[in-house]
Structure 1
Amino acid sequence: MAMTSVAAVPMALRIIISVITLVLMIPLSALGLWISANIFKIRRITYVRALLPALILAFAGFVITIPQWFYDDILIALVIGSVGFLVSAVLYLVLPKLFFDLEWKKGLLVGLVWFGLMMVIGFVIGMIVGILAFVIGIALGIMAAV
């Protein structure tokens, strides 16, 4: 059984998407960590202090996606995506404890809420990008037909 190929997306575009994602996710992730800390009334986690864990998390995700640039198989993309998801989940849960010297319980709670916030933010961004891509694709299709 042949797997669907993702070769339709050129490598340059894959790299550009990864870099844009990296740049967007750092400030959004720091915001998510700051909001999560405020929910649990941890005032020492400021937005600026939340930037370093957010940077580490975004960079780890970026590094994990690098192999996807070189493979066109959807199965490999799913495996790499799954590994990235698991690594990110662990980092979300551990980084607040390590960076802000929280008790494990509070660190895990902050990380869990941070993870949840980022899942929602990622979903919203994905929907916006998907809708824009659809609209641009339709517009280009109409222009090509005319």
Structure 2
Amino acid sequence: MEKQEELDWLKNRLFLILDYVAITPEYVKSTKDFDSVKEYQRLKEEVEKLYQGNKLSRLRQYNRDFSEFIEDDEACLLLLQEKLGDSPLWYRQEIEKTLKKVKKRGKISNEEEYRMVNEEIDRLMFSQEYENEIKRYNELLHDFSKTI
């Protein structure tokens, strides 16, 4: 995917997610000090600025963050599939690619990978079948935590 094409895709994807969460009751929260709908609108404005500034890495980070946020929301995933052709498993596939790289490299290189490995351990934790994999991931987490 070329840079402009990826920028367009990221902007459209993030706008769809933000519009969806702004009208979905489980994501709408309002207190004296906080209004989630206003925050979602502010985030859309920030996404637009990042898009206009060609800030691809920041848009990718937002995309990862929001993909994690909605990863279990089937209605939102279906919306993304309908509008953008996204696979509902897109975020899971991205995690698996990163985990594969970490295992091949034999070490965690950054905090994002550290977070993903931690989440993967949580996901696998209740299955005896993955005991060795969990042990290996824990070793990688331990090694990385020594570097920070």
Q: TM-score range by the shorter chain?
A: 0.3 to 0.5
